[in-house]
Amino acid sequence: MARLPTVGGDNGNWGTVLNEFLQVELNTDGTLKATGTLATKANVTSVPIQFSAATATTGVTGSDRAYAARTLTGARMRAASAPSGSALTVAVQHFDGFTWTTIGTLTMPDSSSVEQTVTFSQAQAVGNLVRLNISSVGSTSAAGGVTVDVTWTATT
């Protein structure tokens, strides 16, 4: 059974004991095992990737990196205050290591704060990224309290 190294008690064996412990959940390249406890918990919880802003601004958000294989399945956008003068438009983008590709677009109409959703299916390998590209926020006043959740499931 794998265990953590004992300080002062595993002289000469420390690296071997540590590797045995880590290999319970990790592949030799450091990625999560598809059948490990952590991967199983990820399959159950699949916590959405959340992007939020007090006031919407145009441009791209920071990105979220895939540390295990996953499939992006959709996105949901909410706003505490509606955009005014024009729509709030957000593109969900995937980066495969070479190019950014829009996989879904969310549009909240002018003067509306009704939740918007989009579904898609985009496989992501370890290291792939996801981000938002906001092209319109409202021309008179920007939408406020904006949150976008990108949903995903772990893949094996």
The CATH code belonging to domain 47-154 is 2.60.120.40
**More confident position, 129 or 21:** 129
Distance, CA of 6 to CA of 11 (rounded, Å): 9
**More confident position, 101 or 41:** 101
Percent of the chain exceeding pLDDT 70 equals 88
Q: Is the pLDDT of residue 28 over 60?
A: yes
Write down the domain spans for the chain.
Answer: 47-154
Check residue 45 and give its pLDDT.
Answer: 55
Q: Are 128 and 96 in contact (CB under 8 A)?
A: yes
- Nearest Cα to 107, choosing from 95, 91, 93? 91
Distance, CA of 18 to CA of 28 (rounded, Å): 13
Q: Is the pLDDT of residue 32 over 70?
A: no
Q: Are 25 and 32 in contact (CB under 8 A)?
A: yes
Check residue 8 and give its pLDDT.
Answer: 77
Average pLDDT score over the chain = 87
Distance, CA of 26 to CA of 39 (rounded, Å): 10
pTM: predicted TM-score of the whole model, two decimal places: 0.72
Q: Is the pLDDT of residue 14 over 80?
A: no
Give pLDDT tens digits for 42-87: 444 578 999 999 999 999 999 999 998 999 999 999 999 999 999 9
- Residue-by-residue DSSP string for 31-44: PBPTTSHHHHHHHH
Residue 131 backbone class (left: φ over 0; alpha: ψ -120 to 50; beta: rest): beta
> What is the pLDDT averaged over residues 120-131?
96
Q: Is the pLDDT of residue 20 over 90?
A: no
Residue 34 tokens, joined = 């598809």
Check residue 44 and give its pLDDT.
Answer: 47
Check residue 33 and give its pLDDT.
Answer: 67
> What is the pLDDT averaged over residues 84-101?
97
